[in-house]
Amino acid sequence: MSNYLIKGGALADGSKRDLYIADGLIVEKGSAITHPAIASAIVIDASNSLVLPGFVDLHTHLREPGREDTETVLSGSRSGAAGGFTALSAMANTSPVADTAGVVEQVFRLGQEAGLCDVFPIGAVTQGLLGKSLSEIGAMAQSAARVRVFSDDGNCVADPMVMRRALEYIKQFDGVIAQHAQDPDLTQGAQMNEGIVSSRLGLRGWPAVAEEAIIARDVLLADHVQSRIHICHLTTAGGVEIVRWAKARGIQVTAEVTPHHLLLTDDEAISYNPVYKVNPPLRTQADVMALREGLADGTIDIVSTDHAPHPTESKECEWQEAAFGMIGLETAFSIVQATMIDSGLMTWTDLVNRMSIAPAKIGKYEKQGLDLMVGSPANLTIVNPSLSWRVDRDLVKSRSRNTPFHGLELPGVVIATMFNGNVTHG
Ligand SMILES: [Zn+2]
């Protein structure tokens, strides 16, 4: 294992510190490293750059097992490393579904074999994601994968009694239920946000209330059983208001927003290009502004990518037939810089909180989301905020190309990523 000197970089608070890395740990930190082995270190030039704790994604679709043609744990890990991530959370909607200890251990081992970041499997709440009977939640929690986050993502846990039982169950080991808030009856056949654009295009609408009604119900249920709920990919101003209200009441709720919902609106659907078709859908400019405000004031705790790889044939077709979802690991940092930092809404310390510290806390990922202190594992990312780059879907590390940002010039370049003291990107 090599030792490294990260030289000339600034930390999130702006202070300049060099870091000496050996045996996977931060061994020394300061303006002049004095370690006796410094001469043998590989020097990483971080001048004009920021050295930040590695990003942690709480919501990633890695597609293995079952759809290895679109992504594998290895290709997804490469994509994550390129985006500055040192931990991903593999959603359970694989084939077979990750609803047993066997499947979550398989995904966990694939992540370890890939060795490019931590891959924490998320367990399904219900068997087969069908919303009826609880999956092997206890066995998954006790497995080698030590699952703490459970989600039927892709599907909503619609039955309130099932949600109540799940919330009661996960209390035993301080787990959390991550809810994909979408009332199935209110969104049958829905294709995009319900509003002016959907009526104009003649596409079946997806009303904000379908998301907000489930969020409201679930924060009340979490309060009632005194358990932890996490709201996936918030998209509406009303949803932000409900979470703000719930937090003020002391309810144990956390929430996430995706980079694409921080930037894009339902106007994109006017192109009929299915690359913009996503679940939950892109909303209005007023929603985008409320999401940014919610992320800045901490109502929304974290940014998650909802990286959702799909094959070309599922995205280059008619809007109605196209699959929902976008890839996002490699563009997440730049979109957050563009929408939240360059706009003056957040500081770099806030960004570290929303993209590393807070997601690691929610998922109970103990070796992730830590301050860059002596003795901490060297999980970090080096970014240069003053450089920009042009997104090219043909150059992504993901196996899929369904990025809505193709051709766009974005600020912020991930110079290097380090996972447990090994360089995984750069
Ligand atoms: Zn989802």
pLDDT in tens, 315-367: 999 999 999 999 999 999 999 999 999 999 999 999 999 999 999 999 999 99
Both 44 and 66 in one domain: the answer is no
Query: 127 C-alpha vs ligand 1 centroid, how far in Å?
Result: 17
Both 12 and 133 in one domain: the answer is no
Query: 19 C-alpha vs ligand 1 centroid, how far in Å?
Result: 38
Query: 179 C-alpha vs ligand 1 centroid, how far in Å?
Result: 8
Active site residue 306: yes
Residue 253, pLDDT > 90, answer yes
* pLDDT tens readout for residues 164-194: 999 999 999 999 999 999 999 999 999 999 9
Radius of gyration of the chain (CA): 21
Both 71 and 219 in one domain: the answer is yes
For residue 395, the model assigns a pLDDT of 97
Residue 396 lies in a domain: no
| Residue 264's pLDDT band (cuts 50, 70, 90) | very high
Query: 342 C-alpha vs ligand 1 centroid, how far in Å?
Result: 28
Supply the pTM of this predicted model. Answer: 0.98
Both 22 and 142 in one domain: the answer is no
Residue 369 lies in a domain: no
Both 28 and 173 in one domain: the answer is no
Both 76 and 18 in one domain: the answer is no
The C-alpha atoms of residue 27 and residue 37 are separated, in whole angstroms, by: 11
Full residue range of the structural domain in which residue 345 is found? 53-363
User: C-alpha angle with apex 310: 229 to 260, nearest 5 degrees?
Assistant: 55
Residue 29 lies in a domain: yes
Both 30 and 167 in one domain: the answer is no
| Mean pLDDT of the 291-320 span | 97
| Residue 83's pLDDT band (cuts 50, 70, 90) | very high
Residue 371 lies in a domain: no
Query: 233 C-alpha vs ligand 1 centroid, how far in Å?
Result: 7
* pLDDT tens readout for residues 366-399: 999 999 999 999 999 999 999 999 999 999 999 9
Both 266 and 380 in one domain: the answer is no
Q: Looking at 18, 118, 306, 350, which residue is catalytic?
A: 306
Both 230 and 310 in one domain: the answer is yes
Is the preceding omega at residue 65 within 30 degrees of 0, hence cis?
A: yes
Residue 355 lies in a domain: yes
Q: What is the mean pLDDT of the chain?
A: 98
The strand ranges marked E within 8-143 are 18-22, 25-30, 42-45, 50-53, 55-56, 85-90, 118-121
Both 150 and 177 in one domain: the answer is yes
| CA dist list (Å): 154 to 83, 131, 233, 308 | 23, 11, 11, 10
| Residue 281's pLDDT band (cuts 50, 70, 90) | very high
Residue 404 lies in a domain: no
Query: 44 C-alpha vs ligand 1 centroid, how far in Å?
Result: 38
For residue 140, the model assigns a pLDDT of 98
The amino acid at residue 364 is K
The C-alpha atoms of residue 110 and residue 125 are separated, in whole angstroms, by: 22
Query: 157 C-alpha vs ligand 1 centroid, how far in Å?
Result: 11
Residue 339 lies in a domain: yes
Domain CATH code at residue 414: 2.30.40.10
Query: 241 C-alpha vs ligand 1 centroid, how far in Å?
Result: 20
Sequence-distant (6+) residues with CB within 8 A of 3 are: 20, 21, 22, 23, 27, 37, 40, 41, 42
Residue 119, pLDDT > 90, answer yes
Domain count, the chain: 2
Residue 400 lies in a domain: no
Both 305 and 270 in one domain: the answer is yes
Domain CATH code at residue 112: 3.20.20.140
Q: What is the percent of the chain with per-residue pLDDT over 70, rounded to a whole number?
A: 100
Between strands 149-150 and 118-121, the pairing is: unpaired
Both 43 and 162 in one domain: the answer is no
For residue 1, the model assigns a pLDDT of 79
Three-class DSSP category at 133: coil
Between strands 409-419 and 380-390, the pairing is: antiparallel
For residue 42, the model assigns a pLDDT of 97
